[in-house]
Amino acid sequence: MSDTRTLDAKGQLLTNDGVPLKESLRKSLRRTKIRSFLLLLAPLLFLLIMFVGPIGSLLSRSVDDMEINRVLPETFAQYELWEDKSILPSEEMFAAVVNDIRATHKLEDSEGNNIGKNLLGKAGTRMTYEYSGWRSLLLKTVKSATKVNKRSKEEVKPYTWEAPYKEKMIKRDKRWGKVEFWQSLGAMKDPYTIGYYLNAVDLRFDANKNVIQKPEHLKIYKTIWMRTLQVSLMVTIFCLILAYPVSYLLATLPMRTSNLLMICVLMPFWTSLLVRIVAWMIMLQQNGVVNDTLVGILPCFEGMVNLPFFGEKNIDLCFSDEDRIPMMYNFTGTIIVMTQVLLPFMILPIYSVMRGIPPSYMKAAQNLGATPTRAFVRVYMPQSIPGIGAGCILVFIVAIGYYITPELVGGKDGLMIGNFVAREMQKTLNWGLAAAMGAILLAAVLILYWAYDRLIGIDNLKMG
Amino acid sequence: MSSSDPLVKFENVQKSYDGEILVVKDFNLDVAQGEFVTMLGPSGSGKTTCLMMLAGFEPTTNGTIYLKNKPINNVPPHKRGIGMVFQNYALFPHMTVAENLAFPLEVRKMGKSEREAKVNRALEMVQLGDFGNRRPMQLSGGQQQRVAVARSLVFDPDLVLMDEPLGALDKNLREQMQYEIKHLHEELGLTVVYVTHDQTEALTMSNRIAVFDDGVVQQCASPEDLYEKPENAFVANFIGENNRLMGSVESIDGDKATVKTDSGDIVIASKVNVNKAGDRATLSLRPERIMVSPAKGKTPNTYSAKVEELIYHGDHIRTRFSVCGHDDFIVKIPNSIDNVGLQEGKEVNIGWMMEDCLALDG
């Protein structure tokens, strides 16, 4: 057969009309490409606005330190010149603080309303994160530094305080004489900071901006992180243990029966989370159904018994009111309720993978001589791994950021990092810290995802 | 066990799933050592159920199955030592080909070196020596098929079962695999019980074929006998192509049955499955045994027929006649110089011998 292809000077393939083949192909595909892009535009925008935007703002807030830099520019400039940071800074630095306060105090927005006082308040809050006491110190000083001489005849009334300021300030509040306050400025002087992240893992900057451990009595988050990890892992494992046999049953039963059972699995999904949690409270609290039942039905036996191998033993088998098990408002409560709440997330992917495993594999394995148990372990289980992986990842990811359940049933030792994020958002208003915690959670989830991809392969993940 | 005893024996086996319908009504079959027996039948006829009972995946409702003279009704599948090739191969997707083959040896606690030797030999046997490290998904359908066969043989089972193993392959590959399995059977002296609904496959490969319909074995015989001497109308119709003329028996004289067709023609036929005058009868005629314009007196049955349609098939011309009140009477006419004069609408005589016309149940 002769070669009927036509080539141009550059050796490119041409169509019958003499147009390069590649260009012709591109033209013929262009319309399809444009159309598919337009179709994708709406979800893309949605993704951008609803997903990329908030996460971006979360990440930027967790490192943003601009505001304090706008309030205290001169102070931070002087801080750079402060040589021996173990002794109090010189008069210039004290003067810089007063100048910054006065400059900020006068600031107005475009409509002529004063925003300076508000900014100074915020700055005080920000400074307190680095060293407690800053807020009251700053606001006290603002009052004195901005007081004007009302009797003056001049058009712009002069401030009552005049340079030098060092002694006046220390006299006004002796905390100005403490070098620790001045040192803590170092952590705030850059427009971007990793201070929130350090804070979230119980670290902080020292005067020379080295990362150091927080003093023991201020360390709170490390235990919370560890507990969050522990709760998530335990909930994932318990969910797996409970979900695997249930999914197997659902997958092997005839469709009719399994659909009926599936409704039972999904029923909690359709019930309000709060209702479920309250139901658990009724079940598990100190005078709840479970404890009452245990006290009521367990036999009471006390006395000496002659046991084989152990000899004479004093046996006390009494379950009285003092023995009631604390299962609510603590770690145990969090684990129990979260396991129940997240169970469907484990069952659904495992079930869907198991449904796809043809029964002939088990038959083949037995036909080849494997006992049913062995066939299950060697042939069935490895094929259900994509479901197990998906279920575990799903449950772990949801669990690690869980908030409402620990809040309601966690008591003191069942709280997780989600509760602290909420606390920073709502109570202390330290959004930077909350954002940093959120970002760490996000990173943990991404690392987990990456590790799963490396170990098992993400295309081996079947959500349903 | 003496050599004349069957390797497998089904004795009065019955099977019902719901307690109302018998899927297998009364199954009796002996399979001798080294035999290739095919269970053939339309879907839902009970053939796969019989195979599953033999493999141990379905309990028999009644009756006994013997393997080497021992009843195996209560032996679990993994202790039966029967190899099996499944319809969709059932190769374990998470294991390589070699691991798949090693699996039956591993559960039998065979040593590693011996295991490897056996696996390699089995792979060589199906010409897949270099494919040990591939996953089943990376193989073509035909290669997967071979792996499945190799896996069912690697542990030297007494008996190999095959459940429509070639169903998923295209026509050419299926034919090729038919010969390969047949050769393996002959070379290794295997005993094979094979299930299919494809009659060509059954005819090509088997020593004996059990034709199933409606839970009952209609006939169990060699391929030649099934084709040449079907015992009833179902078998005649199911195996190969077949013209059927309906009528009733006029008289019976030894092997000879005289049948009057519903159109009123008298046909002389061999008596096979009719008993007395007055019975309804089906006359079965193979399309290749009909003579066109036979010499006068050569055939006892000669009728005038009209050519309705000619279909060119290369080596033969498939001709549709209308004869004896039947307008779908197919004759295969060899494409030879003598037979080119036929045209649609033309009237010719066609005839057949008594031996080629079987009087079966109506």
| pLDDT at site A369 | 93
The string of pLDDT tens digits covering residues A381-428 is 999 998 999 999 999 999 999 999 999 998 888 899 999 999 999 988
How many residues would you count in chain A?
A: 464
Cis peptide bond prior to A308, omega within 30° of 0: no
For residue A405, the Cα-to-chain-centroid distance in whole angstroms is 15
Chain B CB contacts of A360 under 8 Å are: 86-88, 90
Which of B76, B90, B104 comes nearest A360 by C-beta? B90
Nearest CA in chain B to A359: B90
Same domain, residue pair B190 and B81: yes
Residue A404: is it exposed, middle or buried by C-beta count within 10 angstroms (0-12/13-18/19+)? middle
* Closest CB to A370 among B56, B86, B107: B107
Q: Are residues B215 and B259 in the same domain?
A: no
Pairing verdict, β B216-221 and B208-213: antiparallel
Yes or no, beta carbons of B94 and A360 under 8 Å apart? no
What's the pLDDT band for A310 if we cut at 50, 70, 90? confident
Alpha-carbon distance of B236 to B361, in angstroms, equals 11
What are the DSSP calls for B16-32, one per residue? ESSSSSEEEEEEEEEE-
Query: Which residues in chain A have Cβ-Cβ distances shorter than 8 Å to B151?
Result: 368
Could you tell me the CATH number of the domain that includes residue B341? 2.40.50.100
What local confidence, expressed as pLDDT, does residue A462 receive? 65
Residue predicted with more confidence, B362 or A131:
A131
Answer yes or no: do B216 and B318 share one domain. no
Chain B interface mutation, best of A367, A371, A384, highest count of B Cβ atoms under 10 Å: A367
Record the tokens describing residue A176, joined without a space: 């100005």
* Residue where a domain terminates, one of B216, B233, B250: B233
pLDDT for position A262: 92
Q: Which residue in B has a C-alpha nearest to residue A380's C-alpha?
A: B92
Write the CATH number for B176: 3.40.50.300
Q: At what angle do helices A221-252 and A331-355 cross, to 10 degrees?
A: 40
In chain B, the residue whose alpha carbon lies closest to the alpha carbon of A383 is: B94
Residue B3: inside a domain, yes or no?
no
The pair of three-digit structure tokens given for residue A15, joined into one six-digit string: 């169509």
SS (H, E, C) chain A: CCCCCEECCCCCEECCCCCEHHHHHHHHHHHHHHHHHHHHHHHHHHHHHHHHHHHHHHHHHHHECHHHHHHCHHHHHHHHHCCCCCCCCCHHHHHHHHHHHHHHHCCECCCCCECHHHHHHHHHHHHHHHCCCHHHHHHHHHHHHCCECCCCCCCCCCECCCCCCHHHHHHHCHHHHCHHHHHHHHHHCCCECCHHHHHHCCEEECCCCCEEECCHHHCCHHHHHHHHHHHHHHHHHHHHHHHHHHHHHHHHCCHHHHHHHHHHHHHHHHCCHHHHHHHHHHHHCCCCHHHHHHHHHCCCEEEEEEECCCEEEEEEECCCHHHCCCCCCCHHHHHHHHHHHHHHHHHHHHHHHHHCCCCHHHHHHHHCCCCHHHHHHHHHHHHHHHHHHHHHHHHHHHHHCCCHHHHHHCCCCCCCHHHHHHHHHHHHCCHHHHHHHHHHHHHHHHHHHHHHHHHCCHHHCCCC
Tell me, yes or no, whether B159 and B292 share the same domain. no
- Among A60-69, A111-120, A453-462, B15-24, where is mean pLDDT lowest? A453-462
Q: How far apart are CA A411 and CA A419, in angstroms?
A: 11
- How many Å apart are CA A265 and CA A283, to the nearest integer? 20
Report how far apart the first and last C-alpha atoms of chain B are (Å, whole number). 44
Average pLDDT, rounded, for chain A: 88
Q: Do A368 and B104 touch (CB under 8 A)?
A: yes
Nearest CA-CA distance, residue B126 and chain A, Å: 18
Do B55 and A374 count as a contact with CB atoms less than 8 A apart?
A: no
Sequence-separated (6 or more) residues with CB below 8 Å from residue A151:
none
Burial code (b: 16+ CB inside 10 Å, e: under 16) for A243-274 equals: bbebbbebbeeeeeebeeebeebeebeeeeee
**pLDDT at site A137:** 92
| Start and end residues for every CATH 1.10.3720.10 domain found in chain A | 224-286+326-460
What distance in Å separates residue B107's CA from the closest CA in chain A? 6
Taking alpha carbons only, the member of B271, B276, B178, B171 closest to residue B229 is B271
Q: B151 and B269: one domain?
A: no
What 3-state DSSP class applies to B48? helix
Closest CB to B108: pick one of A369, A375, A379.
A369
Check whether A10 has a pLDDT greater than 80: no
pLDDT given at position B3: 57
**Cα within 13 Å of Cα(A442), Cβ side:** 16
Range of the domain at B291: 241-361
Note whether B107 and B208 are same-domain residues: yes
User: Which residues in chain A have their CB less than 8 angstroms from residue B56's CB?
Assistant: 366-367
Give the number of other CB atoms < 10 A from CB of residue A6.
Answer: 13
* pLDDT, average across residues A100-108: 90
Alpha-carbon A289 to chain mean position: 34
Tokens at B152, concatenated? 């069912």
> Is the separation of the CB atoms in A201 and A439 below 8 Å?
no
Question: Are residues B90 and B26 part of one domain?
Answer: yes
Residues of A in contact with B83 (CB under 8 A): 367-368
Query: Cβ contacts (< 8 Å) between A357 and chain B: which residues?
Result: none
Are residues B205 and B262 part of one domain?
no
B86 to A360: CB separation less than 8 angstroms, yes or no: yes
Q: Which residues of B touch A456 (CB under 8 A)?
A: none
Chain A residues lying within 8 Å of B93, measured CB to CB: 383
**Is B92 in contact with A364 (Cβ distance < 8 A)?**
yes
Asked if residue B120 belongs to a domain, the reply is yes
User: Which one of B206, B233, B260 terminates a domain?
Assistant: B233
Closest residue of A to B90, CA-based? A361
Is residue B82, in this structure, part of any structural domain at all? yes
Total domain count for chain B? 2
d(CA B202, CA A286) in angstroms, rounded, equals 74
* CATH class assigned to A224-286+326-460: mainly alpha
Residue A311 pLDDT more than 70?
yes
Q: Is residue B158 part of a domain?
A: yes
Compute the nearest-CA separation of A384 from chain B (Å).
10
> Which of B76, B90, B151 faces A361 most closely, judged by CB atoms?
B90
Mark yes or no for CB contact B78/A369 under 8 Å: yes
Query: What amino acid occupies position A406?
Result: P
Asked if A369's CB is within 8 angstroms of B104's CB, the reply is: yes
Residue B2 forms part of a structural domain: no
pLDDT along chain B (362 residues), means of 10: 77 92 92 94 89 94 94 93 92 94 94 93 90 93 92 93 89 89 91 92 93 91 92 90 90 89 89 86 91 84 89 88 88 79 85 90 80
Give percent above pLDDT 90 in chain A.
Answer: 49
**pLDDT attached to residue A294:** 84
- Best-predicted range by mean pLDDT (A297-306, A362-371, B253-262): A362-371
pLDDT of residue A2: 47
- pLDDT given for residue B313 in this prediction: 87
Q: Do B270 and B223 have their domain in common?
A: no
Nearest-CA distance B109 → chain A (Å): 11
C-beta atoms of B77 and A363 within 8 A: yes
Q: Which of A368, A378, A381, A462 to mutate to test the interface with B (most CBs of B within 10 A)?
A: A368
Chain B CB contacts of A379 under 8 Å are: 92
Going by C-alpha positions, the residue among B201, B105, B198, B195 that lies closest to residue B156 is B105
Judgement on whether residues B40 and B110 belong to the same structural domain of the protein: yes
Nearest Cα residue in chain B from A358: B90
Asked whether residue B1 is assigned to any structural domain, the reply reads no
Exposed e or buried b per residue across A294-329, where buried means at least 16 C-beta atoms within 10 angstroms of its C-beta: ebeeeeeeeeeeeeeeeeeeeeeeebeeeebeebbb
- Note whether residue B290 is domain-resident: yes
Q: What is the mean pLDDT of residues A444-461?
A: 83
Nearest-by-Cβ selection for A367 from B84, B87, B88: B84
Supply the pLDDT for residue A1.
45
Whole-number pLDDT of residue B1: 47
Are B245 and B350 in the same domain?
Answer: yes
pLDDT at A151: 82
Interface of A with B (CB under 8 A): 358, 360-361, 363-372, 374-375, 378-379, 382-383
